[in-house]
Copies of this chain bind each other. A is one copy, B any other.
Amino acid sequence: MKKLINRADDVVRESLEGFAAAHAGMVRVNFDPIYVARIDAPVRGKVGVISGGGSGHEPLHCGYVGMGMLDAACPGAIFTSPTPDQMLEASKAVDGGAGVLHIIKNYTGDLMNFEMAAELARSEGIEIDTVIIDDDVAVTNSLYTAGRRGVGLTVLAEKITGAAAEERRSLKEVGDICRQVKDWGRSMGMALTSCTAPHIGHAMFELPDDEMEIGIGIHGEPGRKRMPVQPADEITDMLMEPIISDLPYRRGDEVLLFVNGMGGTPLSELYIVYRRAAEIAAQHGLKVVRSLVGPYITSLEMAGCSITLLKMDETLLKLWDAPIKTPGLRWGI
């Protein structure tokens, strides 16, 4: 295992210490229990938007804390759900009196712990709404999931929902915007290589030198099939067709096209995938009105990519374009 770390047990804490130092103007990090909050939380009268999950997917979620996106994020150990006390304390820290929305990727541990945190928060008088992101069309159930997994759409949901909260919409309205994103977005991913969690010290799974896995999850959970590595265009076809036919996206739809890197794949290769994905979208009569290309929800150093399509309307477009200032996404301010 070759990593820029000290002790495996200290990875999450030390990484957050560096993160806190680098972005002191945007976020503050609480270490007991661990959560990251925007520097000006709680914002009076604003719905607090929270997410969280296992570490190892950076910049998700902590990198998306800041003006216009998340009010707080709760990082667990690598690929491990955070605990209810983290989510409870984060909810209290960002409660500005207008309620708190929990955005949860659909993994069993995350669901259980967020549910418990929501109950505890409600018992302390904080109104909580919950949206579960389950955009991965690859498999119906998975190692850590009943139902579909939550993957790339989470980034888009956090951005758009955060912008809705910034407009001082009500908890009901903010939750409904997030549910719209959940309903209108679909994703699928693939891996060329495995990745190594520091505390485990060996690859999460084995992938032979000439094989890839289509439909992989962000923790290396099995996907649809293993096969010899194919050219990028064929790989992109294998991801785009199931995505488009699932919603289904229809001729004339305006979409945001998000090509995400899993961590170890160079940006230049993501653009090769984007090129083909945009061609396929055009062939289906979809109009790509916004794009995002880069490593925004990763699996440590895994090589591979995922593609997310989100159908857009005027409301989502306006919220996507709204100013944002987080360590991981920033424009307009």
Give chain A's interface residues, CB within 8 Å of chain B.
2-7, 11-12, 14-19, 21-23, 55-56, 58-59, 63, 192-193, 209, 212, 229, 231-233, 235, 257, 259, 263-276, 278, 288, 291, 293, 295, 298, 300-301, 303-305, 325, 327, 330-333
Across the interface, do A298 and B266 meet the contact criterion of CB distance under 8 Å?
yes
Contacts A18-B273, A19-B271, A272-B18; A6 near B233 (Cβ below 8 A): yes
Across the interface, do B209 and A298 meet the contact criterion of CB distance under 8 Å?
no
Across the interface, do B2 and A268 meet the contact criterion of CB distance under 8 Å?
no
Given contacts A3-B269, A5-B231, A331-B331, 8 further A-B contacts (CB under 8 A): A3-B232, A5-B269, A21-B288, A21-B291, A22-B257, A22-B271, A301-B303, A330-B330
Across the interface, do B14 and A300 meet the contact criterion of CB distance under 8 Å?
no
Chain B residue, CB-CB nearest to A21: B278
Across the interface, do A4 and B274 meet the contact criterion of CB distance under 8 Å?
no
Q: In whole angstroms, what is the CA distance A298 to B269 when docked?
A: 13
Across the interface, do A4 and B273 meet the contact criterion of CB distance under 8 Å?
yes
Q: In whole angstroms, what is the CA distance A265 to B1 when docked?
A: 12
Interface SS majority for chain A:
mixed
When distances are taken between beta carbons in the complex, the residues of chain B under 8 Å from A278 are 18, 21-22
Contacts A229-B2, A303-B301; A22 near B291 (Cβ below 8 A): yes
When distances are taken between beta carbons in the complex, the residues of chain B under 8 Å from A274 are 18-19, 21-22
A41 to chain B, nearest CB (A): 21
When distances are taken between beta carbons in the complex, the residues of chain B under 8 Å from A6 are 231-233, 272
A86 to chain B, nearest CB (A): 17
A282 to chain B, nearest CB (A): 10
Top-5 shortest CB links A-B:
A18-B275, A18-B271, A4-B269, A18-B274, A2-B192
When distances are taken between beta carbons in the complex, the residues of chain B under 8 Å from A55 are 268
Partner among B209, B271, B288, B303 whose Cβ is within 8 Å of the Cβ of A16: B271
When distances are taken between beta carbons in the complex, the residues of chain B under 8 Å from A293 are 18, 22, 327
Partner among B23, B272, B331 whose Cβ is within 8 Å of the Cβ of A5: B272
When distances are taken between beta carbons in the complex, the residues of chain B under 8 Å from A275 are 14-15, 17-18, 21
A18 to chain B, nearest CB (A): 3
Chain B residue, CB-CB nearest to A305: B4
Partner among B4, B23, B327, B332 whose Cβ is within 8 Å of the Cβ of A272: B4
Across the interface, do A3 and B192 meet the contact criterion of CB distance under 8 Å?
yes
Partner among B23, B259, B267 whose Cβ is within 8 Å of the Cβ of A58: B267
